[in-house]
Chain A
């Protein structure tokens, strides 16, 4: 007999489907990649933490122990989980606003410590949930509700920032790169140290329609066309502009936070 259910159904909270994400939003595809990366892992030992935002809603859809915490505080919450129970594999999932605006300081210090967390940032270049305000990753000149004449702030390069702060595994993909993203997510889940994945994703509802995109599909095709795969590039060259450099950016040995702590006990 052929199974009738979706191959990821066991990993989803089916009673919560359909999810709240808009038609053409990248979040569902990104979450699918994560669930595929989880397949075969010991699910009793996985914890999933997310903050607030459209991205943050993911905690309500994953059928592992999941925690939907306050805005920007996914990382400190997850540090507590990991330190109290080092057996756990802990993922923090959040938007660019959640992880790099309100939560930015938590991020850089967690990366500095090389603590064993797997942080996944869905970078849709906007505050989606609150209606489309400018984010730290909004491209220069892009229109948002708070920059109606165009953004005059330079955006962060999150992957570069992660590497500069001390993350020992860093990769960037777009929603269009499902296979590569899934593979990187699995590597990040198994990484002994601080791993970071930046997913360039699309918010057609609050970003796309103000910036000349008809729908999510057009955005998906655009990001695919603008992507250039480069493994271990010079990070100076990875700012997101006309081109989006994607690939594995950092993979390096360094003693982790818990290894350092253990030395003193």
Chain B
């Protein structure tokens, strides 16, 4: 399974491209609008998102929580006291 990841000083964003069904929830709900639909097409024919502004990602939990397909998720480098 193809796994994408992006890293900044706040943490990592992972994407299991083959699980994505292209619903666009993550792209629309991202508070920083740093995701967009990629040109990649997965085996099921969907276009997964990509993090085009890596530094702009605040590693919140919004895409992780809304993704119906358990495809996109973030880990923080060090847990901070509060969710940003």
Contacts and interface: CB of A to CB of B under 8 A. Distances in A.
Interface of A: 2-4, 6-9, 12, 17-19, 21-29, 32-33, 36, 178-179, 182, 215-217, 220-221
Contacts of B65: 29, 32-33, 36, 178-179, 182
B28 interface: yes
Given A4-B3, A215-B23, A217-B25, A29 B46 contact: no
Contacts of A26: 68
Interface residues of B, number: 26
Contacts of A21: 68
Given A23-B22, A216-B25, A217-B25, A7 B64 contact: yes
B64 to A, nearest CB: 7
A8 B24 contact: no
B36 interface: no
Given A4-B5, A22-B21, A217-B28, 9 more contacts: A17-B70, A24-B68, A25-B68, A28-B70, A29-B68, A32-B67, A179-B65, A216-B23, A216-B68
Contacts of A8: 70
Nearest to B16: A6
Contacts of B11: 2
Contacts of A25: 68
Contacts of A22: 21
Contact of A28 (B5, B69, B73): B69
B70 A6 contact: yes
Contacts of B21: 18, 22-24
Contact of A18 (B18, B23, B25): B18
Contacts of B3: 4
A119 B23 CA distance: 28
Nearest to A36: B65
B82 interface: no
Contacts, number: 71
B23 A217 contact: yes
4 closest Cβ contacts across the A-B interface? A28-B68, A23-B21, A178-B65, A24-B23
B41 interface: no
Contacts of B70: 6, 8-9, 12, 17, 28, 32
Contacts of A28: 67-70
A221 B25 CA distance: 10
B25 A220 contact: yes
B61 to A, nearest CB: 9
A18 B73 contact: no
Contacts of A27: 68
Nearest to B77: A2
B28 A2 contact: no
A241 B71 CA distance: 33
Interface in B4-22: 5, 11-12, 14, 16, 18-19, 21-22
A19 B21 CA distance: 10
A57 B68 CA distance: 14
B66 interface: yes
Contacts of A32: 65, 67-68, 70
Nearest to B1: A17
Interface centre among B3, B19, B44 (most CB of A within 10 A): B19
A4 B14 contact: yes
